[in-house]
Homo-oligomer: A and B are copies of this chain.
Amino acid sequence: MASNSGRRLNIDNINQHIVSAKYAVRGELAVKSEEYRAALHNGATDLPFKQVISANIGNPQQLDQKPITFFRQVLSILENPTLLEKSDVLVNHLGYKPDVLERAKKLLAAVGSVGAYSASNGAPAIRQSIADFLERRDGFPANQADIYLSAGASSGVNTLLHVICANEKSGILVPIPQYPLYTASLSVLNAACVPYLLDEQKNWGTDLATIKAAHEKAEAEGIDVRAIVIINPGNPTGASLSEEDIRAVIEFAREKRLVILADEVYQTNVFVGEFISFKRMLRQLQREQPGAYDSVELASLHSVSKGMTGECGHRGGYFELVGFDPLVQGRDLQLMVNPPRPGEPSHELYAREYDGIFGGLRERATALHKAFEQMEGVECGAPQGSMYLFPTITLSAKAAEAAAAEGRTPDEFYCMRLLEATGVCVVPGSGFGQKEGTLHFRTTFLAPGTEWVGSIVKFHAEFMEKYR
């Protein structure tokens, strides 16, 4: 029997699924970078850099991205509706356009107070706005009853995985590399993660043979594979899937009876080609071959944290369910999906801000990519989408030995040295998963300026020299 003197909970007797869940984008490097930031804030002068660059997390507004004016003006009224009693002051003295006031009125009429609880799946009027947006995006109908609001996409993923996974034999196909939300949630749930490698040679596209092999192997091991996760555009890879890849995945999901979890939070961040949603492609296939795809179950996720909106802190997201059993579905954003349109008073400023953010992202991505191309042992596909680059790095055996001596993987070792030398915080590829024998890191291209890119180049040359 345990004695009465000690605490009840210790690291060995609490939920071990929580203990084993890892979240690299908020791990040791992130903690250390915050310590550096605090030290600089408190006047430290003994560090080899003057600022910390958080390239580890896609958090635009922590860096220099300004929020979109229209959104924030509407939100300010939702928080303080009495402002509407002074609409002349808003318009004449504070630069609020009439469509801002109209939108706020409409939303307040629909949701009542933002301080009130709403329906479990979200206020109906907001869900209707999202359905309208999806119809415009895809050219196929969407039903507000199939839309579920969530606190960011993360919470939606968590809900869906909780419903889908019945026990420790339930398996989910997860791309590697992946955003660690998926492996962490599956660990907490004690369900099986069935990894499939993305194809770096195809600019991180999906490779059907690899997916098939992973599925077959898992089923042979007694895993009941129930769903496949696709992150498009990719995180951490920055890839944007081709129509062909999307078709192939839907076809495979139909054949193997897999729910498709399409994480499409970066859908507006596409720099090459156009974004094609899984919903649109599924509806197209259903039109081409009536009846053949009716049993396909698709959940598509989106979030206000991403795209040009970048409102991470507002924790807004939704998922749309397609083809789910109504009994299953029974369990269970407006501004982003409905920005000012041409001709409306706020449109000019909105379009200027939106294009400015989009153009800035593309420029920075290109500059960063160019820098990577010049670095020894670094390979990186051209930026396609999302807000990340995920270069391969090739490190020497000597570097690997030095890493092992510290109990780190070589990519963790590299990222830690990079942080210490430059103040730039990135995430090692091992936090997302990578093919055995390969090393990567993920960096956002959100931070302004080019100085920090230069400091990475300089660090890299020195690191390579030291461990040659």
Contacts and interface: CB of A to CB of B under 8 A. Distances in A.
Given A61-B112, A62-B112, A119-B34, A166 B13 contact: yes
A34 B151 CA distance: 23
Given A115-B314, A116-B313, A76 B86 contact: no
B312 A115 contact: yes
Contacts of A114: 313-314
A163 B188 CA distance: 10
A62 B257 contact: no
Interface string A158-177: 00001111100000000000
B80 A86 contact: no
Interface stretch (A325-333, A411-419, A426-434): A325-333
A330 to B, nearest CB: 8
Given A9-B164, A328-B11, A80 B76 contact: yes
A53 interface: no
A80 B311 CA distance: 13
Most buried by B among A5, A257, A297, A324: A257
Contacts of A209: none
Contacts of A2: 257
A222 to B, nearest CB: 14
A248 interface: no
Interface stretch (A14-22, A198-206, A355-363, A390-398): A14-22
A386 interface: no
A57 interface: yes
Nearest to A96: B80
Contacts of A9: 163-164, 226, 259, 297, 324-325, 328
B94 A83 contact: yes
Given A113-B62, A118-B313, A162-B18, A6 B295 contact: yes
A188 B15 CA distance: 14
Contacts of A10: 325, 327-328
Contact of A59 (B77, B117, B188): B117
14 contacts: A7-B257, A8-B226, A13-B166, A15-B162, A59-B117, A61-B112, A62-B117, A67-B115, A75-B79, A76-B76, A89-B89, A115-B312, A116-B313, A117-B312
The 4 closest A-B pairs by CB, nearest first: A76-B80, A61-B113, A75-B79, A61-B116
